Structure 1
Amino acid sequence: MEYILIIIAFLFIIKLLAKVDKLEGSIKRMQYTLDQLTQQSGLPENPINDELRKLIKEGEDIKAIKKARETLGLSLLEGKEYIDRLKSDNR
Structure 2
Amino acid sequence: MDYLTIFYIVVAGLLLWIVSSISQMRSDITRININLNKIAEQVGVPDTITDELKSLILEGKKVEAIKKYRIATGFGLKEAKEYIDSLSK
Q: TM-score, normalised by structure 1?
A: 0.68
Aligned-partner residue type, residue 85 of structure 1: Y
Match of 1:17 in 2: 19
Percent identity over the alignment is 24
Hey, what's the Cα distance between the residues in 1 that align with 2:75 and 2:25? 19
Q: Which runs of 4+ in 1 moved over 6 A?
A: none
Hey, what's the Cα distance between the residues in 2 that align with 1:40 and 1:29? 17
Is the 1:53–1:87 Cα contact (8 Å) retained in structure 2? no
Aligned ranges 1:7-86 → 2 under 5 Å: 7-46=9-48, 49-66=50-67, 68=68, 74=71, 77=76, 81=80, 84-85=82-83
Q: TM-score, normalised by structure 2?
A: 0.69
Is the 2:65–2:84 Cα contact (8 Å) retained in structure 1? no
Aligned partner of residue 47 in structure 2, secondary structure: coil
Aligned-partner residue type, residue 45 of structure 1: D
Query: Which residue of 73, 86, 89 maps to 1:88?
Result: 86
Figure out how many residues of one structure are paired with residues of the other and give that number: 84
Runs (5+) with no aligned partner, structure 2: none
Aligned-partner residue type, residue 23 of structure 1: M
Q: Any idea what the Cα deviations from partners look like across 1:22-71, whole Å, max 9, x if unmatched?
A: 1111111101100111111111222x5434312202322023345x27xx
Alignment RMSD (CA, Å): 2.9
